Structure 1
């Protein structure tokens, strides 16, 4: 059974690549980091998907 954890971060004025690298360094179990631009261009939503015992990063987008 795989556990799925979705973390949503709301940040303003931050660089997506920097946030992405920080998150990937925090845990080897994070498999996906994605970003959605909101209607307000200065606000971005980051979604981090973490699956069970998966030790590798599968895709970043």
Structure 2
């Protein structure tokens, strides 16, 4: 997710705002401290304009 976000020049704060998710949660997901909730996956994918499967490891 981080690579996709950075390639699109999107900040964590901007992504979080677009998804309605706290930016601290985006940070924890990117650092691997928490798993991405299934409810967050489509929101993040939509905000990054990618297929949700592109965010899976």
Same fold by TM (over 0.5)?
A: no
TM-score, normalising length from structure 1?
0.28
* Structure number with bigger Rg: 1
TM-score, normalising length from structure 2?
0.29
More strand by share: 1
